[in-house]
Amino acid sequence: MSRNILVRAEPLKSLAFGDIGVNYVALKDAYNVDQFKHFIRIIRFQNLTDKTLSVSYDGIDEHEKVVAGSFFLFDYATNTLGADNEFFVGYNSRIYVKHEGDAPTLGEVCCSAYYAEGDGLGG
């Protein structure tokens, strides 16, 4: 028997260049929601602006730097040990960004997030 696990996507979270400031601001989706509503297994963060940005998972500490025009991808579920030992980004987590130095003058930042939805045991 195998487990059937479906891949589902959260709504895209983004922030336009003009909304990126010197303090951390949370990315939001089209419904103005800034929190993830599932346990996230894969994140792709794209910096489509013209400046290097700082990324934070708590809105206080810097955790990543993402240069202009680049991205990072984290697949937390790549080498899982089973249902009881999997990595996830927590429910209600947020992604924050800020600029350092000159503000971006074009583009946006985007965060795609994917979660697993199990439908039980299959054959």
Q: Provide the residue-wise pLDDT of the chain in tens; the chain has 123 residues.
A: 456 778 899 999 999 999 999 999 999 999 999 999 998 989 999 999 999 999 999 999 999 999 999 999 988 777 665 555 567 787 788 999 999 889 999 999 999 999 888 654 443
Cα separation of 12 and 4, whole Å?
25
Residue 92, C-beta contacts closer than 8 angstroms, at least 6 positions apart? 35, 36, 37
Amino acid at 73: L
Which among 112, 26, 118, 36 is positioned nearest to 75, based on CA atoms? Answer: 112
**What is the pTM assigned to this prediction?**
0.85
Residue percentage of the chain with pLDDT more than 70: 85
Cα separation of 97 and 113, whole Å?
16
64, 72 in Cβ contact below 8 A?
yes
Pick the CATH number of 2-122 from 3.30.1490.20, 3.30.540.10, 2.60.120.10, 3.40.50.2000: 2.60.120.10
Q: Is 9 left (phi over 0), alpha (psi -120 to 50) or beta?
A: beta
Could you give phi then psi for residue 10, rounded to 5 degrees? -75, 160
Q: Which residue has 């697949």 as its token pair?
A: 75
